[in-house]
Amino acid sequence: MSALVSGIVLGLCGCDSLSVEDEAPAPRVGRLAELGPSPKDALLEALASAGGNVLGALKHLEAETRQRRNGRPARLDSNEPLVRIVEGEEGTIRELYLQGIYITDGGLPQLESVNGLQRLHLHKAPVTDDGLARLAQFPGLSGLSLGRLDVTDRGLAHLSEFKSLRRLVVEGPRISTEGVRHIGVLSQLEGLGLSGLGITDAAIAPIGDLENL
């Protein structure tokens, strides 16, 4: 077994986890699949077209990414753009997938108005530590999946502010032992997935005390 942690999944039944594509290195932010002719925040642009309606903007992005894929289904761990909306009752959105979409720290607060949002999957976007701090303000978020973002250990320190968080998936080489320590204090976690981290097996010891996993 490699001395570096390649993947660990604990208690994630019923929750999507990330898989690492060894043959496809993580794209840098500048190579993300962008919607529109210039690197503007795709969600903010869609909001302007939808008259400020967040659900309408997300459905517009969902349709546009499907068109860019020529109708082909996209996997969560692929390099193709993906917006997937899982609707709940009475117009709510229970789960939202955003992959390869140029959404920035400035656009993330718009998602707070998504009625009923419980689980958010955010992959391959120019989201930084500041963006993760803004997500901490979402009151009902119980599941969070972060894949190949510009988030570092400093950003993971904000995870302690997620009072409702029960399931967490983190993928990305910018997370070190210090980031795992921040995860290790989340005593309420019931499911955890880690992959692609540049740390040794011994460095995951802090999560060993999480009793609900």
| pLDDT tens column, 160-204 | 999 899 999 999 888 888 999 999 999 999 999 998 887 777 778
Query: Which is it for the CA torsion 201, 181, 152, 213, positive or negative?
Result: positive
Residue 67: give the domain boundaries: 7-209
Report how far residue 117's alpha carbon sits from residue 125's, in angstroms, rounded to the nearest whole number. 19
- Alpha-carbon radius of gyration of the chain: 17
Task: Tell me the pairing of strands 82-87 and 143-147.
Answer: unpaired
Instruction: Count Cα neighbours of 6 within 13 Å in the Cβ-side half-sphere.
Output: 7
Instruction: Let me know if residue 47 belongs to a domain.
Output: yes
For residue 186, CA distances in Å to 40, 49, 89, 171 come to 34, 39, 30, 17
Confidence of residue 11 (pLDDT cuts 50, 70, 90): low
Report how far residue 141's alpha carbon sits from residue 135's, in angstroms, rounded to the nearest whole number. 9
| pLDDT tens column, 67-93 | 888 878 877 777 789 999 999 888 889
Q: Do the beta carbons of residue 133 and residue 162 sit within 8 Å?
A: no
Instruction: Let me know if residue 188 belongs to a domain.
Output: yes
Residue 49 sits in a domain whose CATH number is: 3.80.10
Q: Can you give the pLDDT at residue 18? A: 36
Instruction: Let me know if residue 1 belongs to a domain.
Output: no
Q: Do the beta carbons of residue 5 and residue 186 sit within 8 Å?
A: no
Instruction: Let me know if residue 29 belongs to a domain.
Output: yes
Query: For the chain, what is the domain count?
Result: 1
Q: Can you give the pLDDT at residue 10? A: 61
Q: Can you give the pLDDT at residue 205? A: 83
